[in-house]
Chain A
Amino acid sequence: MTLRIAVCVKYVPDATGDRRFADDTTTDREGVDGLLSELDEYGVEQALRIAEASGDAEVTVLTVGPDDAKDALRKALSMGADKAVHVNDDDIHGSDVIATSAIVAKALEQVGFDLVVCGMASTDGTMGVLPALLAERLGVPQATLLSEVGVEGTTVKGRRDGDAASEQVEAQLPAVVSVTDQSGEARYPSFKGIMAAKKKPVQSLDLDDLGIDADAVGLAGAWTKVETVTARPPRSKGTIVTDEGEGGKQLAAFLAEQKFI
């Protein structure tokens, strides 16, 4: 039986660019270059490694996002994923994570999966809760925040490093996993991979295809509301001194003044 692996990825504004909000308090994706979220590259990598180890697997990469999000899919395909699904619908704009999880879960059900692989969080929203929400919606176990992951037969196993302990966890497939940036470095697309990506199928789906009511998603369907957005005032310029032998003492004096020592 072919192991069906679905990787969820997100197209995010480049963190080195000038990220900001649009007038409707959503992330401004117009003015900033986007890319495949770095943390999702780890998800793609682990999916590919699991597929390579299994010998009989198919990796589908899935994203929800605007037209440009196809760049993220393209990158994942050039890394080696077999096919892609792009959920794109104007009505999705402004969806919160709860609504997004409903869209992704529906798309996953339609695509079919034995294993869903996610990154640990997106680099823009940084909530890190989508994998848990997907597990909840799909009614499958979650084995999340794994620094090591592998599939043995119909069991996914991995290591979850928490603050207090490092845990070995396992779950029966189908399951949702998320992987951390410690799980193993993501590969770079090779020339062959890039050329091959061009010929791989990318399926487009909209809300109708998924049977989702437009009112349930988007800004209007969100269960949270942004009241205000304020740019953080730039920190006032601090004192900078060059060490001429007394730097440590000068710093101690500053800290004493601030009552830290």
Chain B
Amino acid sequence: MTEILVLVDHADGQVRKPALELLTLARRLGTPAAVVLGAGDNAAAIAAKAAEYGAATVHTADAPEFTAQLVVPKVDALTQIAQATEAGAVLVTSSGEGKEIAARVALRLGSGLITDAVDLEAGASGPVATQSVFAASFQVKSTVTHGAPVITVKPNAVAPEPAPAAGTVQAVEVAFTGNAATVTARTPRVSSGRPELTEAAIVVSGGRGVGAAEGFGVVEDLADALGAAVGASRAAVDAGWYPHTNQVGQTGKQVSPQLYIAAGISGAIQHRAGMQTSKTIVAVNKDPEAPIFELVDYGIVGDLFTVLPQLTAQAKG
């Protein structure tokens, strides 16, 4: 069977959940092979995790370039591995960096590129990717017609399922091509202790209705009771109430969790573009005319400052 390369995204020595989702999807298409780059001493542990989720082979490469330079070293590695293994397809997580890597790899391989897939299945002539476009008002199914498909997949496309495989580690020497921007300093993000927004199964978001930075307390309390990530609408971020890294919407993060709770968010198109593919949507808003109510599975017309604490208490109880 053809090898399906999966670029394994990792941080702080841990495999990030979307990589496990990619390995799960890769099994539908062929034999998963993981690519682990710049993991240092953690490479073995990451390889083991990849094997647990179905990687028959784990290609590893380590060099200072992976952290000292932007994007290009990973492009070099992934391209060279794809060429050497004659990979059937290359899967990368749909993050800012992931998409950039995928695009350049596709160009080097002479391959068609599909980004932001929300589902993947095997088709008669290669993988069929499903994308959700125009603020999720359309579903598009596409295939790649030239070269080995390079596809980026959004987090939460599938539930990761373990399927232990050999996970044979193959160390790779990469020929770096240079011409990259250099990273001169790196400040790790302070962890909130909450799940990553794009990966979380549940997201609780606050908007203009939260009224102030302090108002996000009730949103965070509910998120913590549910083990959820916290999001914010553009209005709340623009007002300076919550960091931009938590913005959900067209210009922020696009999320599709199992459950999305919108508190004090009217549901402007800008916001809907970032959350409309969520499986279950719940909203709490004072304004019965708020457009968000057109999307919800369950909506409460009411004050989020009374409804959320009550729900938090129930969730904890």
Contact = CB atoms under 8 A, between A and B. Distances in A.
Chain A directly contacts chain B within the complex, with at least one CB pair under 8 Å: yes
Interface of A: 15-16, 19-21, 25, 38-39, 96-98, 101, 120, 123-124, 126-129, 131-133, 135-137, 139-145, 160-171, 175, 180-182, 222-232, 235, 238-243, 245-252, 254-255, 258, 260-261
A123 B273 CA distance: 10
B309 A248 contact: yes
26 contacts: A15-B273, A38-B251, A97-B113, A101-B107, A126-B250, A129-B100, A136-B103, A136-B104, A136-B107, A144-B100, A161-B244, A167-B70, A169-B183, A170-B181, A222-B145, A223-B144, A227-B143, A232-B132, A232-B136, A235-B296, A240-B296, A241-B301, A247-B284, A248-B306, A251-B300, A252-B314
A98 B301 contact: no
Contacts of B107: 98, 101, 133, 136-137
Interface in B162-203: 179-189, 196, 198, 202
A242 B298 CA distance: 11
Nearest to B115: A127
Interface string B99-122: 111111011100111111000000
A228 B130 CA distance: 9
Contacts of A16: 269
A247 B103 contact: no
B64 interface: no
Contact of B141 (A137, A223, A226, A247): A226
B185 A167 contact: yes
Contact of A231 (B75, B95, B137, B189): B137
B269 A15 contact: yes
B181 A168 contact: no
A132 B140 contact: no
B11 A129 contact: no
A173 B72 CA distance: 16
A258 B251 CA distance: 30
A144 B100 CA distance: 9
A227 B142 contact: yes
A120 B115 CA distance: 15
Interface of B: 11-12, 70-72, 75, 95-97, 99-104, 106-108, 111-116, 128, 132-147, 179-189, 196, 198, 202, 226, 244-245, 250-251, 258-259, 269-270, 273, 280-282, 284, 288, 293-303, 306-315
Nearest to B198: A163
A182 B247 CA distance: 11
Which 5 A-B pairs have CB atoms at the shortest separation, nearest pair first? Answer: A248-B310, A243-B302, A223-B112, A252-B314, A129-B103
B100 A132 contact: yes
A237 B211 CA distance: 28
B297 A238 contact: yes
B134 A20 contact: yes
A241 B298 CA distance: 8
Contact of B142 (A171, A225, A248): A225
B112 A222 contact: yes
Given A222-B145, A229-B139, A260-B202, A248 B314 contact: yes
A241 B300 contact: yes
A161 B245 CA distance: 8
A239 B145 contact: no
Nearest to A245: B306
